[in-house]
């Protein structure tokens, strides 16, 4: 039995924010053995290919560049996955840009950003309160690169479901 209910080739943009370019040199307890942002991007594209989904990746340490990417991508992608990283607590312009696209947005994190620093996947400088979470369609965190796999799979299945986000749902009388 196929995992997907649809056959449309969705296009999902993955955005990695400030400090993710340093992946591989970061705390191994939190970020694991993945060696670079390029390795993470390829991992994500490979998962997308397995699901019949096109993954477009973007990474920047500068919020203005992230905003420009979101504005340009809004008409060509079906959904966004974002690891706001260093923008997690302060990225209000990015949050607004994503919300204004009208596209589903999944927030991802390698770490469990709401956990205390002593937790196995907690940040040494955590816990954090994300400005993205209240407006995100969903979140996944604490699973290192597998958070991305979970977001790609869940978002793909949701995009295949015409009733996701309330479309085509009959109202009960």
Give the tens place of pLDDT for each residue, 75-113. 999 999 999 999 999 999 999 999 999 999 999 999 999
Please, which pLDDT band fits residue 124 given cuts at 50, 70 and 90?
A: confident
What confidence score (pLDDT) does residue 1 get?
A: 65
Please, which pLDDT band fits residue 170 given cuts at 50, 70 and 90?
A: low
- 169 within some domain: no
- 6 within some domain: no
The enclosing domain of 111 has a CATH number of 3.40.50.9100
What confidence score (pLDDT) does residue 18 get?
A: 97
- 109 within some domain: yes
pLDDT at residue 172 tops 70: no
- 166 within some domain: no
What confidence score (pLDDT) does residue 78 get?
A: 97
- 165 within some domain: no
How far is CA 55 from each of CA 65, 85, 91, 118, 151, rounded to the nearest angstrom?
19, 19, 23, 34, 12
Of 170, 72, 169, 90, nearest in space to 129 by CA: 90
Of 94 and 26, which is predicted with more confidence?
94
- 97 within some domain: yes
User: What is the percentage of the chain residues whose pLDDT exceeds 70?
Assistant: 95
> Hey, what are 67's tokens?
């905003």
A 10 A CB-CB count for 92 gives 12
- 173 within some domain: no
Supply the range of the domain harboring residue 142.
Answer: 11-158
pLDDT at residue 173 tops 70: no
Cis before 57? omega within 30: no
Catalytic residue among 43, 71, 96, 109: 109
CB 20 within 8 A of CB 85: yes
- 49 within some domain: yes
Total of domains in the chain: 1
The predicted model scores a pTM of 0.92
Tell me if residue 31 is catalytic: yes
Rounded to an integer, the average pLDDT of 30-59 is 95
Catalytic residue among 31, 71, 146, 148: 31
Please, which pLDDT band fits residue 169 given cuts at 50, 70 and 90?
A: very low
The predicted-structure confidence for 148-160, as pLDDT tens digits, reads as follows: 999 999 999 999 9
């Amino acid at each position: 039995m196929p995992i997907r209910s649809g056959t449309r080739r969705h296009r999902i943009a993955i955005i990695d924010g400030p400090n993710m370019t340093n992946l591989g040199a970061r705390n191994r307890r939190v970020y694991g053995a993945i060696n670079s942002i390029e390795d993470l991007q390829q991992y994500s594209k490979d998962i997308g290919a397995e699901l019949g989904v096109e993954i477009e990746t973007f990474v920047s340490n500068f919020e203005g560049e992230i905003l420009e990417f979101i504005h340009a991508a809004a008409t060509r992608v079906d959904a966004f996955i974002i690891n706001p990283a260093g923008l997690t607590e302060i990225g209000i312009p990015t949050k607004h840009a994503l919300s204004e696209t009208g596209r589903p947005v999944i927030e991802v994190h390698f770490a469990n950003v709401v956990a205390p620093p002593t937790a196995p996947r907690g940040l040494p400088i955590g816990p954090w309160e994300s400005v993205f979470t209240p407006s995100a369609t969903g979140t996944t965190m604490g699973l290192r690169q597998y958070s991305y796999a979970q977001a790609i799979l869940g978002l793909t299945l949701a995009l295949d479901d015409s009733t996701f986000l309330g479309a085509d749902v009959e109202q009960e009388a």
